[in-house]
């Protein structure tokens, strides 16, 4: 555990912060798996574009998990050590894909990103002006999650619009 580094933290219970970070850590591992498995089962029009997006986001979620684990260790904590703990500690949960259609898969992913945005917004507020290191890490992750939501929503909307236009042209 960093001694001088942690001495700059003011007004935060480090144990509570580690708990918040471990919950986010669980979310990142579950999000990684969700993106991974969705990229394998997705079907439908323009699925290749969705697969590229899902794989990139999976890599980002794994990177986020690493960043959070490193910070938990710096704070003197221990990252959750077993996947069963992820399900117990998660903020956002994990829902297995039920509908493999590309639009449904993208909507599930968008929902996950929206939960992540809420989670990281709360941690940003918790650490603001109190723990600059965690604040910076979480702010970076929050920026990524906002970008993910935008990427997924744009692709979702593009596919939905394309299908609607295709249906209209076939109806004529």
- The string of pLDDT tens digits covering residues 60-117 is 999 999 999 999 999 999 999 999 999 999 999 998 999 999 999 999 999 999 999 9
Is residue 39 domain-resident?
Answer: yes
- Inside any domain, residue 83: yes
In angstroms, the CA 124 to CA 137 distance is: 9
- How far is residue 63's CA from residue 137's CA, in Å, rounded to a whole number? 11
**2: pLDDT strictly greater than 60:** no
Q: Do the domain assignments include residue 136?
A: yes
Calculate mean pLDDT across residues 142-161. Answer: 97
pTM: 0.93
Q: How is residue 157 written in tokens?
A: 């909307």
**CB of 145 closer than 8 Å to CB of 24:** no
Q: Flag whether 7 is in a domain.
A: no
Query: Using one digit for the tens of pLDDT, what is the confidence trace for 109-128?
Result: 999 999 999 999 999 999 99
* Domain assignment of residue 82, yes or no: yes
Tell me the Ramachandran region of residue 11: left when phi exceeds 0, alpha when psi lies from -120 to 50, beta otherwise: left
Range of the domain at 120: 13-171
Is residue 138 exposed (0-12), middle (13-18) or buried (19+ Cβ within 10 Å)? buried
Residue 3, pLDDT score: 60
Task: Provide CB contacts within 8 A for 95, sequence distance 6+.
Answer: 108
| CATH code for position 113 | 1.20.1260.10
pLDDT at residue 47 tops 80 = yes
- Tell me the C-alpha to C-alpha distance, in Å, between residue 125 and each of 5, 26, 131, 135: 20, 20, 10, 8
pLDDT of residue 162: 93
């Amino acid at each position: 555990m960093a001694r001088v580094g942690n001495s700059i933290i003011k007004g935060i219970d480090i144990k509570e912060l580690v708990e918040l970070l471990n919950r986010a850590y669980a979310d990142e591992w579950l999000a990684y798996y969700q993106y991974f498995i969705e990229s394998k089962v997705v079907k439908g029009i323009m699925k290749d574009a969705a697969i590229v997006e899902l794989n990139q986001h999976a890599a980002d979620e794994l990177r986020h998990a690493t960043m959070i684990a490193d910070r938990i260790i710096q704070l003197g904590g221990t990252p959750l050590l077993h996947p069963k703990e992820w399900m117990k500690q998660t903020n956002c949960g994990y829902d297995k894909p039920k509908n493999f259609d590309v639009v449904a898969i993208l909507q599930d992913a968008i929902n996950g990103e929206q939960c992540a945005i809420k989670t990281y917004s709360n941690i940003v507020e918790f650490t603001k002006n109190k723990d600059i290191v965690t604040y910076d890490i979480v702010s970076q992750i929050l920026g990524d999650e906002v970008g993910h939501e935008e990427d997924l929503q744009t692709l979702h909307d593009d596919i939905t619009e394309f299908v609607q236009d295709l249906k209209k042209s076939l109806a004529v």
